[in-house]
Amino acid sequence: MTMAKSCRTPASRRTLRGHRDPYHGRMAEPRWLSAEEMRAWHAFLAAGALLDRRLDQQLRQDAGLSHAQYEILVRLARRQPTSCG
């Protein structure tokens, strides 16, 4: 009696979600950003920080809530659409 080979990826080569890990045992070399890409990335981060500060200011002024507090309320409302209690 012969045993058939398994077509499944061994557990040691799967990710936490059970998918095959294509990088098992090797690391890909990083590709660093060009100067233009780095400028764009920094501009994106600065715009995100500015937006966050502006939203926080507006929410505090209009509702007395921080942006973080508002985000928590939005997430709670999504989980419990009928009530908050």
Within a domain: 21: no
Interatomic CA distance for residues 36 and 44, integer angstroms: 12
Amino acid, single-letter form, for residue 11:
A
Within a domain: 48: yes
Q: Report pLDDT digits (tens) over 13-66.
A: 555 666 666 666 677 788 899 999 999 999 999 999 999 999 999 999 999 999
Number of domains in the chain: 1
- For residue 84 the two structure tokens come to 């908050």
Residue 10 has pLDDT above 80, yes or no: no
Could you give the 3-state DSSP secondary structure of residue 20? Answer: strand
- For residue 78 the two structure tokens come to 């999504």
Within a domain: 19: no
What mean pLDDT, rounded, does the chain reach? 81
Within a domain: 1: no
Residue span of the structural domain in which 53 resides: 32-85
The model carries a pTM of: 0.53
